[in-house]
Amino acid sequence: MILLYSFSSLLIVAVLFSAIVLTNEVGFRLGRFVQRHTDEEVKSYTGSIQASILGLLALLLGFTFSMAMQRFDQRSMALIDEANAIGTVQLRVELLPAQMQPTAEKLLDTYLDLRLAVATLPMNEQDEQQSLLTQTSQLQQKLWQLVREAAEQDPRPVTTGMMITALNAMFDAQGKRNAVLHMQVPQIVLLVLFAVFTIAGGMMGYSAGLSGHRIIMPILLVALIITLIVFLIIDLDRPRQGIIQVDQHPMMALPRLSET
């Protein structure tokens, strides 16, 4: 999402809040201008339209928040799956020939450090991300080559076969976790949501103008609540950038084999 997510969350919600308040004021002035030429039936019809727009706003808001929360949960589960996969490989290192175990332990410790480093690196630092992913791929090749050599020495499935299975699962978990990091709420959904918010603000102002009564505080409170929820949606949908982050404890809790 290049257009929206190149800006800070606070800037986005500040612009949205200002847009809602501004369109509300424009709608109020327009409503006051046509008030004299509007009968009660039209005013009632305008109120019904306003209620429909607010209902649509609530529906879109709930739908978008659900999408952002679902993606956050997927990132959390992907982290747990990868931590479990790495832990399984750590346990099965003992199945390798004794002379290969120290090398495998050092490679796994380095692999774990790289995965932790990737988890704390902001998504917009693409060069650093690519460098860490390249190092991770190289380590995977080294681990795979080591296990292949072990399988040639001892091809029994009870020993090296179980290690190969665990290693495959670890590689798959890493790929899945990388994939879910790029699963975000489509930008068009957020843009439509912002447009509906702005239109709703203008419609509330227009309805107030027709009635001849300005309601400043309720409008400001509605705009504030909307922007707070939008801030939560954007923050949930920004891995490694926002306030709400996936807990890295399952990965950090894994032991360092070369230190035990």
CA distances from 91 to 56, 141, 231, 255, 257 (A): 53, 19, 42, 10, 9
Our CA angle for 155, 156, 160, nearest 5°, is 75
pTM to 2 decimal places: 0.81
Look at residue 38 in the predicted model and tell me its pLDDT: 67
Of residues 18 and 257, more confidently modeled: 18
Q: Is the pLDDT of residue 1 over 60?
A: no
What is the average pLDDT score of the chain? 84
CB 123 within 8 A of CB 129: yes
How many residues does the structure list for the chain?
A: 260
Look at residue 218 in the predicted model and tell me its pLDDT: 82
> For residue 86, what pLDDT band results from cuts at 50, 70 and 90?
very high
Residue 213: strand, helix, or coil: coil
How many C-alpha atoms does 117 have within 13 Å on its Cβ side?
Answer: 16
> For residue 159, what pLDDT band results from cuts at 50, 70 and 90?
low
Q: Is the pLDDT of residue 84 over 90?
A: yes
d(C-alpha 17, C-alpha 201), whole Å: 10
d(C-alpha 116, C-alpha 118), whole Å: 5
Among the listed ranges 6-15, 205-214, 246-255, which one has the minimum average pLDDT value? 205-214
Q: Which residue bears the tokens 């109120």? A: 47
Read off the pLDDT of residues 20-46 as tens digits, 9 standing for 90 and up.
999 988 888 888 877 777 666 666 767
CB 230 within 8 A of CB 95: no
Mean pLDDT of 227-240: 86
Single out the residue of 59, 38, 17, 13 nearest to residue 206, CA to CA.
38
C-beta neighbour count of 204 within 10 angstroms:
24
Read off the pLDDT of residues 162-187 as tens digits, 9 standing for 90 and up.
888 899 999 999 999 988 888 888 88
Read off the pLDDT of residues 93-137 as tens digits, 9 standing for 90 and up.
888 888 888 999 999 999 999 998 888 777 667 788 888 889 999
Return the structure tokens found at 117: 């480093």
Of residues 78 and 240, more confidently modeled: 78
d(C-alpha 93, C-alpha 112), whole Å: 14
Look at residue 140 in the predicted model and tell me its pLDDT: 92
CA 256 centroid distance within chain: 29
Mean pLDDT of 237-248: 81
How many C-alpha atoms does 98 have within 13 Å on its Cβ side?
Answer: 0
Q: Is the pLDDT of residue 17 over 80?
A: yes
Mean pLDDT of 235-241: 81
Which residues have CB under 8 Å from 115's CB, separation 6+? 82, 86, 136, 174, 251
Q: Is the pLDDT of residue 53 over 70?
A: yes
